Amino acid sequence: MTAAGGAARPRLILASASPRRRELLGQLGVPFEVVVAQVTEHEESTTDPRVMVAHNAALKADWVAARQPDAVVLGADTTVFIDGAALNKPANGVEARAMLRRLSGRSHTVFTGLALRHVASGLKIDEGVASEVTFKTIYDAVIEAYLARVHTLDKAGGYGIQDHPELIIAGYSGSLSNIIGLPVDTTKQILTRGGLLP
């Protein structure tokens, strides 16, 4: 594949293990590989969520880019924010239930940080996206029904808006793909700036 002017377009690598990010990035029609960054993410719940997701996205992208200097690397990180605290991935069912109870009947913000890196050219782009989600008031029977249908331990806030939303979601504003884990429009913009899309 060549970019304008005939120069070879660099490979794109997604620095994420998330199957949802893989699916969303695939919608843009750009070939890419997946390399999972071997990093320890910062998940202190009292950190400013914008700072936390930006830090983690950059951490993943920088780790992979340092090892693949000729590739363009995309890192991303998402968290759920309510009551001045970030709700990251629940460690177990007890935490998932507690998160769903906390979100019940209320609105929260979903923050995603994006980082694009290309060591060979010095390219470095960082962006952040926020969306709002409102939950229905949900009782324990609905929480149990939701947990029986959805694997929640790999999802910030203990839920996925794309999984049985009729049980838990009253509404949302902003980017739906951001809430799922990768804001497609913003990703498209930064890949265009990085020369991977026309």
End-to-end CA, the chain: 12
Element of type H or E holding 180: helix 176-180
Closest CA to 162 of 145, 150, 147: 150
Q: Beta partners for 74?
A: 14, 116
Give yes or no for a contact between 2 and 9, defined as CB atoms under 8 angstroms apart.
Answer: yes
Other beta carbons within 10 angstroms of residue 137's beta carbon come to 10
| Residue 126, C-beta contacts closer than 8 angstroms, at least 6 positions apart | 54, 57, 58, 113, 114, 115, 116
Identify the active-site residue in 77, 140, 154, 163. Answer: 77
Asked if 77 is an active-site residue, the reply is yes
Q: Are strands 123-135 and 169-173 parallel, antiparallel or unpaired?
A: antiparallel
Closest CA to 138 of 114, 159, 117: 159
Chain mean position to CA 48: 16
The DSSP H or E segment spanning 50 is: helix 49-67
**Residues that are catalytic:** 77
